[in-house]
Protein backbone atom coordinates (compact mmCIF):
# COMPACT_ATOMS: atom_id res chain seq x y z
CA UNK A 1 0.00 0.00 0.00
CA UNK A 2 1.21 3.53 -0.75
CA UNK A 3 1.41 6.30 1.81
CA UNK A 4 0.03 9.47 0.22
CA UNK A 5 0.71 13.04 1.24
CA UNK A 6 -1.08 16.02 -0.30
CA UNK A 7 1.17 19.07 -0.28
CA UNK A 8 -0.25 22.48 -1.14
CA UNK A 9 1.37 24.02 -4.24
CA UNK A 10 -0.87 26.91 -5.28
CA UNK A 11 -3.97 28.74 -4.14
CA UNK A 12 -5.84 31.76 -5.40
CA UNK A 13 -9.26 33.34 -5.41
CA UNK A 14 -11.92 34.18 -7.97
CA UNK A 15 -14.47 36.95 -7.48
CA UNK A 16 -17.48 34.59 -7.35
CA UNK A 17 -18.21 31.13 -5.99
CA UNK A 18 -17.07 28.31 -8.30
CA UNK A 19 -19.49 25.45 -9.03
CA UNK A 20 -17.53 23.58 -11.71
CA UNK A 21 -14.27 23.57 -13.66
CA UNK A 22 -12.32 21.97 -16.47
CA UNK A 23 -8.62 21.83 -17.18
CA UNK A 24 -7.51 22.93 -20.64
CA UNK A 25 -5.40 20.67 -22.88
CA UNK A 26 -2.13 22.28 -21.71
CA UNK A 27 -2.83 20.99 -18.18
CA UNK A 28 -2.31 24.47 -16.71
CA UNK A 29 -5.19 26.57 -18.00
CA UNK A 30 -8.47 26.25 -16.14
CA UNK A 31 -12.00 27.39 -16.95
CA UNK A 32 -14.30 27.85 -13.98
CA UNK A 33 -18.09 27.80 -13.99
CA UNK A 34 -19.15 30.43 -11.46
CA UNK A 35 -22.30 32.04 -10.17
CA UNK A 36 -21.91 34.98 -12.57
CA UNK A 37 -20.37 33.26 -15.59
CA UNK A 38 -17.36 31.38 -16.94
CA UNK A 39 -13.83 32.51 -15.99
CA UNK A 40 -10.47 31.72 -17.57
CA UNK A 41 -7.60 31.29 -15.12
CA UNK A 42 -4.82 28.79 -14.43
CA UNK A 43 -3.84 26.35 -11.72
CA UNK A 44 -0.53 28.10 -10.99
CA UNK A 45 -1.72 31.72 -10.80
CA UNK A 46 0.17 32.54 -14.02
CA UNK A 47 -3.03 33.83 -15.64
CA UNK A 48 -5.08 36.58 -14.02
CA UNK A 49 -8.74 35.44 -13.75
CA UNK A 50 -10.89 36.85 -16.57
CA UNK A 51 -14.66 36.66 -16.97
CA UNK A 52 -15.30 35.29 -20.47
CA UNK A 53 -19.11 35.25 -20.66
CA UNK A 54 -22.26 34.66 -18.67
CA UNK A 55 -25.41 32.55 -18.70
CA UNK A 56 -28.76 33.84 -17.57
CA UNK A 57 -28.11 32.23 -14.20
CA UNK A 58 -25.49 30.18 -12.33
CA UNK A 59 -23.06 28.08 -14.41
CA UNK A 60 -23.35 24.51 -13.11
CA UNK A 61 -20.91 22.75 -15.49
CA UNK A 62 -18.11 23.50 -17.89
CA UNK A 63 -16.12 21.08 -20.07
CA UNK A 64 -13.21 21.34 -22.50
CA UNK A 65 -13.63 19.62 -25.86
CA UNK A 66 -9.93 19.93 -26.68
CA UNK A 67 -8.35 22.65 -28.77
CA UNK A 68 -9.93 26.02 -28.10
CA UNK A 69 -13.54 24.92 -27.55
CA UNK A 70 -15.29 24.86 -24.20
CA UNK A 71 -18.97 24.23 -23.44
CA UNK A 72 -20.86 25.30 -20.34
CA UNK A 73 -24.34 24.55 -18.97
CA UNK A 74 -26.29 26.47 -16.40
CA UNK A 75 -29.43 27.07 -14.42
CA UNK A 76 -30.88 28.81 -17.50
CA UNK A 77 -31.18 25.34 -19.10
CA UNK A 78 -28.83 26.13 -21.99
CA UNK A 79 -25.48 24.83 -23.21
CA UNK A 80 -23.13 27.45 -24.64
CA UNK A 81 -20.11 26.98 -26.90
CA UNK A 82 -17.17 29.39 -26.56
CA UNK A 83 -14.03 29.70 -28.68
CA UNK A 84 -11.04 30.61 -26.51
CA UNK A 85 -8.87 31.66 -29.45
CA UNK A 86 -11.46 34.04 -30.90
CA UNK A 87 -12.79 34.97 -27.45
CA UNK A 88 -16.42 34.73 -28.47
CA UNK A 89 -19.57 32.67 -28.02
CA UNK A 90 -20.22 30.55 -31.07
CA UNK A 91 -23.44 28.67 -30.23
CA UNK A 92 -26.18 28.23 -27.66
CA UNK A 93 -28.55 25.25 -27.44
CA UNK A 94 -31.66 25.06 -25.27
CA UNK A 95 -31.53 21.75 -23.39
CA UNK A 96 -34.05 22.04 -20.57
CA UNK A 97 -36.95 24.17 -19.34
CA UNK A 98 -35.55 23.80 -15.80
CA UNK A 99 -31.92 23.93 -14.60
CA UNK A 100 -29.07 21.87 -15.93
CA UNK A 101 -27.88 20.30 -12.69
CA UNK A 102 -24.87 18.62 -14.26
CA UNK A 103 -23.30 18.15 -17.68
CA UNK A 104 -20.40 16.05 -18.92
CA UNK A 105 -18.61 15.29 -22.18
CA UNK A 106 -17.66 11.88 -23.52
CA UNK A 107 -13.90 11.20 -23.49
CA UNK A 108 -13.80 11.31 -27.30
CA UNK A 109 -15.55 14.71 -27.27
CA UNK A 110 -18.37 13.56 -29.56
CA UNK A 111 -21.27 13.75 -27.10
CA UNK A 112 -22.51 15.87 -24.22
CA UNK A 113 -25.00 14.72 -21.61
CA UNK A 114 -26.98 17.04 -19.33
CA UNK A 115 -29.53 16.28 -16.58
CA UNK A 116 -32.37 18.27 -15.08
CA UNK A 117 -35.55 18.05 -13.05
CA UNK A 118 -37.35 19.59 -10.10
CA UNK A 119 -38.58 17.53 -7.18
CA UNK A 120 -42.28 18.19 -6.66
CA UNK A 121 -44.53 16.08 -4.46
CA UNK A 122 -46.71 13.88 -6.61
CA UNK A 123 -49.11 12.69 -3.90
CA UNK A 124 -49.85 12.54 -0.20
CA UNK A 125 -46.82 10.30 0.39
CA UNK A 126 -44.62 12.98 -1.12
CA UNK A 127 -43.56 10.60 -3.87
CA UNK A 128 -41.85 12.49 -6.74
CA UNK A 129 -44.10 13.89 -9.41
CA UNK A 130 -43.51 12.53 -12.91
CA UNK A 131 -41.11 14.48 -15.09
CA UNK A 132 -42.50 17.41 -17.07
CA UNK A 133 -39.68 17.13 -19.61
CA UNK A 134 -37.07 14.44 -20.37
CA UNK A 135 -34.56 14.41 -17.52
CA UNK A 136 -31.55 13.45 -19.67
CA UNK A 137 -30.48 15.09 -22.92
CA UNK A 138 -27.66 13.69 -25.07
CA UNK A 139 -26.21 16.09 -27.63
CA UNK A 140 -24.13 15.33 -30.71
CA UNK A 141 -21.25 17.82 -30.46
CA UNK A 142 -20.59 18.08 -34.21
CA UNK A 143 -24.15 18.92 -35.21
CA UNK A 144 -25.18 20.43 -31.84
CA UNK A 145 -28.43 18.46 -32.14
CA UNK A 146 -30.15 16.64 -29.30
CA UNK A 147 -29.92 12.97 -30.29
CA UNK A 148 -31.57 11.40 -27.24
CA UNK A 149 -34.15 12.64 -24.72
CA UNK A 150 -34.19 9.97 -22.02
CA UNK A 151 -36.57 9.47 -19.09
CA UNK A 152 -35.76 9.37 -15.38
CA UNK A 153 -37.45 10.45 -12.14
CA UNK A 154 -36.74 14.08 -11.20
CA UNK A 155 -34.70 15.58 -9.85
CA UNK A 156 -31.69 14.08 -11.66
CA UNK A 157 -28.56 15.66 -10.24
CA UNK A 158 -25.55 13.79 -11.60
CA UNK A 159 -24.38 12.33 -14.90
CA UNK A 160 -21.32 10.45 -16.21
CA UNK A 161 -20.22 8.88 -19.51
CA UNK A 162 -18.22 5.64 -19.60
CA UNK A 163 -14.53 5.66 -20.64
CA UNK A 164 -15.37 3.78 -23.86
CA UNK A 165 -17.91 6.51 -24.78
CA UNK A 166 -20.70 3.90 -25.03
CA UNK A 167 -22.89 4.52 -21.95
CA UNK A 168 -24.40 7.43 -20.06
CA UNK A 169 -25.34 7.05 -16.38
CA UNK A 170 -27.59 9.39 -14.40
CA UNK A 171 -28.57 9.44 -10.72
CA UNK A 172 -31.43 11.20 -8.91
CA UNK A 173 -32.62 12.42 -5.52
CA UNK A 174 -34.28 9.08 -4.72
CA UNK A 175 -31.04 7.14 -5.24
CA UNK A 176 -32.12 5.67 -8.57
CA UNK A 177 -29.45 5.07 -11.22
CA UNK A 178 -30.24 4.50 -14.89
CA UNK A 179 -27.63 3.66 -17.53
CA UNK A 180 -28.42 4.02 -21.23
CA UNK A 181 -26.49 2.97 -24.32
CA UNK A 182 -25.67 6.12 -26.31
CA UNK A 183 -25.81 4.46 -29.73
CA UNK A 184 -29.52 3.64 -29.55
CA UNK A 185 -30.78 5.14 -26.28
CA UNK A 186 -31.64 1.72 -24.82
CA UNK A 187 -31.84 1.32 -21.04
CA UNK A 188 -29.22 -1.30 -20.10
CA UNK A 189 -29.08 -1.10 -16.30
CA UNK A 190 -31.23 0.32 -13.50
CA UNK A 191 -31.26 0.10 -9.71
CA UNK A 192 -32.07 2.11 -6.60
CA UNK A 193 -30.08 2.58 -3.43
CA UNK A 194 -31.88 4.31 -0.59
CA UNK A 195 -28.61 5.10 1.19
CA UNK A 196 -28.30 8.60 -0.29
CA UNK A 197 -31.86 9.81 0.40
CA UNK A 198 -33.42 11.11 3.62
CA UNK A 199 -37.01 11.42 4.68
CA UNK A 200 -37.10 14.21 7.21
CA UNK A 201 -39.06 13.77 10.41
CA UNK A 202 -37.68 16.79 12.31
CA UNK A 203 -38.52 20.43 11.45
CA UNK A 204 -39.91 19.53 8.03
CA UNK A 205 -41.24 16.46 6.26
CA UNK A 206 -39.66 16.07 2.85
CA UNK A 207 -37.18 14.06 0.85
CA UNK A 208 -33.64 15.38 0.69
CA UNK A 209 -30.28 14.27 -0.60
CA UNK A 210 -29.65 12.12 -3.62
CA UNK A 211 -26.68 11.13 -5.75
CA UNK A 212 -24.68 14.32 -6.31
CA UNK A 213 -21.71 12.90 -8.22
CA UNK A 214 -20.84 9.78 -10.19
CA UNK A 215 -17.83 8.50 -12.12
CA UNK A 216 -17.00 5.28 -13.94
CA UNK A 217 -13.79 3.47 -13.02
CA UNK A 218 -11.05 3.69 -15.65
CA UNK A 219 -11.82 0.16 -16.91
CA UNK A 220 -15.53 1.00 -17.08
CA UNK A 221 -16.51 -2.01 -14.96
CA UNK A 222 -17.62 -0.08 -11.89
CA UNK A 223 -19.65 3.05 -11.17
CA UNK A 224 -18.82 5.24 -8.17
CA UNK A 225 -21.60 7.25 -6.51
CA UNK A 226 -21.29 10.06 -3.97
CA UNK A 227 -23.62 12.03 -1.72
CA UNK A 228 -24.64 11.95 1.91
CA UNK A 229 -26.06 9.21 4.08
CA UNK A 230 -29.54 9.41 5.63
CA UNK A 231 -30.41 11.85 8.41
CA UNK A 232 -33.53 12.54 10.43
CA UNK A 233 -33.35 16.34 10.17
CA UNK A 234 -33.25 17.54 6.54
CA UNK A 235 -31.91 20.93 7.64
CA UNK A 236 -28.97 19.55 9.63
CA UNK A 237 -26.72 18.26 6.85
CA UNK A 238 -25.26 15.75 9.28
CA UNK A 239 -25.50 12.60 7.19
CA UNK A 240 -22.44 10.42 6.63
CA UNK A 241 -19.91 11.39 3.94
CA UNK A 242 -20.76 8.55 1.59
CA UNK A 243 -19.42 6.89 -1.53
CA UNK A 244 -20.47 3.55 -3.01
CA UNK A 245 -18.90 1.38 -5.71
CA UNK A 246 -21.27 -0.65 -7.90
CA UNK A 247 -20.81 -3.52 -10.36
CA UNK A 248 -23.30 -2.11 -12.84
CA UNK A 249 -22.77 -4.82 -15.49
CA UNK A 250 -23.93 -7.69 -13.28
CA UNK A 251 -27.29 -9.28 -14.09
CA UNK A 252 -28.46 -7.72 -10.83
CA UNK A 253 -26.33 -4.59 -10.17
CA UNK A 254 -24.45 -5.12 -6.94
CA UNK A 255 -22.88 -2.71 -4.45
CA UNK A 256 -19.39 -4.08 -3.79
CA UNK A 257 -17.90 -1.44 -1.46
CA UNK A 258 -18.68 1.83 0.28
CA UNK A 259 -17.20 4.31 2.76
CA UNK A 260 -15.52 2.20 5.43
CA UNK A 261 -16.53 2.39 9.04
CA UNK A 262 -14.53 5.08 10.82
CA UNK A 263 -13.44 6.82 7.59
CA UNK A 264 -16.29 9.33 7.37
CA UNK A 265 -17.49 12.42 9.16
CA UNK A 266 -20.64 14.34 8.27
CA UNK A 267 -21.39 16.38 5.17
CA UNK A 268 -22.69 16.41 1.62
CA UNK A 269 -20.24 15.04 -0.94
CA UNK A 270 -20.56 16.75 -4.34
CA UNK A 271 -17.62 15.64 -6.47
CA UNK A 272 -15.75 12.50 -7.51
CA UNK A 273 -12.57 12.26 -9.59
CA UNK A 274 -10.73 9.13 -10.70
CA UNK A 275 -6.91 9.28 -10.90
CA UNK A 276 -5.45 8.75 -14.40
CA UNK A 277 -3.84 5.51 -13.18
CA UNK A 278 -7.24 4.22 -12.04
CA UNK A 279 -5.66 3.23 -8.72
CA UNK A 280 -7.40 5.81 -6.52
CA UNK A 281 -10.19 8.36 -6.48
CA UNK A 282 -10.96 11.64 -4.75
CA UNK A 283 -14.25 12.61 -3.12
CA UNK A 284 -15.07 16.07 -1.76
CA UNK A 285 -17.84 18.41 -0.71
CA UNK A 286 -19.13 20.24 2.34
CA UNK A 287 -18.06 19.51 5.91
CA UNK A 288 -20.66 19.37 8.68
CA UNK A 289 -18.60 17.48 11.25
CA UNK A 290 -15.32 15.57 11.21
CA UNK A 291 -11.74 16.06 10.13
CA UNK A 292 -11.93 16.21 6.31
CA UNK A 293 -13.99 17.42 3.37
CA UNK A 294 -11.74 16.02 0.61
CA UNK A 295 -10.17 12.57 0.77
CA UNK A 296 -8.35 10.10 -1.46
CA UNK A 297 -9.38 6.43 -1.48
CA UNK A 298 -7.75 3.30 -2.86
CA UNK A 299 -9.89 2.11 -5.79
CA UNK A 300 -9.28 -1.59 -5.12
CA UNK A 301 -9.49 -1.78 -1.32
CA UNK A 302 -11.60 1.31 -0.56
CA UNK A 303 -9.14 2.32 2.15
CA UNK A 304 -8.78 6.02 2.86
CA UNK A 305 -5.31 7.21 1.80
CA UNK A 306 -5.18 10.96 2.52
CA UNK A 307 -7.42 13.75 3.78
CA UNK A 308 -7.79 17.52 3.51
CA UNK A 309 -9.76 19.92 5.68
CA UNK A 310 -9.97 22.91 3.37
CA UNK A 311 -12.16 25.35 5.23
CA UNK A 312 -14.35 25.86 2.16
CA UNK A 313 -16.98 23.91 0.21
CA UNK A 314 -15.30 21.80 -2.48
CA UNK A 315 -17.60 21.74 -5.50
CA UNK A 316 -15.34 19.96 -8.00
CA UNK A 317 -12.05 18.07 -7.98
CA UNK A 318 -9.92 16.72 -10.80
CA UNK A 319 -6.44 15.30 -11.34
CA UNK A 320 -3.96 16.80 -13.76
CA UNK A 321 -3.37 14.53 -16.80
CA UNK A 322 0.06 13.46 -15.49
CA UNK A 323 -1.56 12.40 -12.19
CA UNK A 324 0.86 14.48 -10.13
CA UNK A 325 -1.59 17.06 -8.79
CA UNK A 326 -5.09 17.26 -7.38
CA UNK A 327 -7.00 20.44 -8.31
CA UNK A 328 -9.94 21.52 -6.17
CA UNK A 329 -12.33 24.44 -6.67
CA UNK A 330 -15.16 25.71 -4.52
CA UNK A 331 -16.65 28.52 -2.57
CA UNK A 332 -15.90 30.09 0.78
CA UNK A 333 -19.47 30.71 1.90
CA UNK A 334 -21.52 33.34 0.14
CA UNK A 335 -20.87 36.90 1.36
CA UNK A 336 -23.92 38.73 2.61
CA UNK A 337 -22.21 42.08 3.08
CA UNK A 338 -20.30 44.05 0.42
CA UNK A 339 -16.85 45.43 0.99
CA UNK A 340 -16.59 48.86 2.61
CA UNK A 341 -16.73 51.82 0.21
CA UNK A 342 -18.96 49.94 -2.25
CA UNK A 343 -16.19 47.86 -3.83
CA UNK A 344 -18.42 44.82 -4.32
CA UNK A 345 -18.38 41.54 -2.45
CA UNK A 346 -15.16 39.95 -1.21
CA UNK A 347 -13.71 37.33 -3.56
CA UNK A 348 -15.15 33.98 -2.45
CA UNK A 349 -14.23 31.54 -5.21
CA UNK A 350 -11.34 29.22 -4.37
CA UNK A 351 -8.77 27.35 -6.51
CA UNK A 352 -6.29 25.14 -4.68
CA UNK A 353 -3.72 22.71 -6.09
CA UNK A 354 -2.01 19.91 -4.17
CA UNK A 355 1.00 17.81 -5.18
CA UNK A 356 0.43 14.07 -4.70
CA UNK A 357 3.50 12.61 -3.03
CA UNK A 358 3.62 8.89 -2.39
CA UNK A 359 5.94 6.26 -1.00
CA UNK A 360 5.56 2.54 -0.41
CA UNK A 361 4.97 1.43 3.17
Distance CA 350, CA 307 (A): 18
User: Which pLDDT score, from 0 to 100, does residue 346 have?
Assistant: 86
Residues 6+ away with beta carbon under 8 Å from 228: 196, 198, 209, 212, 237, 239, 240, 241, 242, 267, 268, 269, 285
Please tell me the predicted confidence (pLDDT) of residue 199. Answer: 85
Q: Are strands 136-140 and 88-94 parallel, antiparallel or unpaired?
A: unpaired
- Third-level CATH fold of 4-119+133-337+346-358: Methylamine Dehydrogenase; Chain H (2.130.10)
**What pLDDT is attached to residue 356?**
97
- At 340 the pLDDT is 64
pLDDT at 179: 98
Closest by CA to 3, choosing from 311, 280, 294, is 280
pTM as predicted: 0.95
At residue 202, the pLDDT reads: 78
Cα(169)–Cα(252) distance, integer angstroms:
16
Can you list the residues of the chain whose pLDDT is less than 70? 1-2, 339-343, 360-361
* Structure confidence at residue 342 (pLDDT): 64
Q: How much is the pLDDT for 119?
A: 92
Amino acid sequence: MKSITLKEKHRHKLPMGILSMALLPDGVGLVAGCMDGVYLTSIDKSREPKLLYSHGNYVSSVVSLGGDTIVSAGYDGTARWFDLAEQKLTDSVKLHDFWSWDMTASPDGKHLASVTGQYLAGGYKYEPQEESEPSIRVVDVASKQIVHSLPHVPSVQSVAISPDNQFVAAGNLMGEVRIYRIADGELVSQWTTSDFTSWGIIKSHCYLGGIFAMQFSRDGKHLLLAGMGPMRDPMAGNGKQLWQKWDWQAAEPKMIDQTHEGDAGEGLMETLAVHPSGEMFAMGGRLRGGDWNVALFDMQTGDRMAILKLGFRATEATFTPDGKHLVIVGTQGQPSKPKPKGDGFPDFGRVEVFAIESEAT
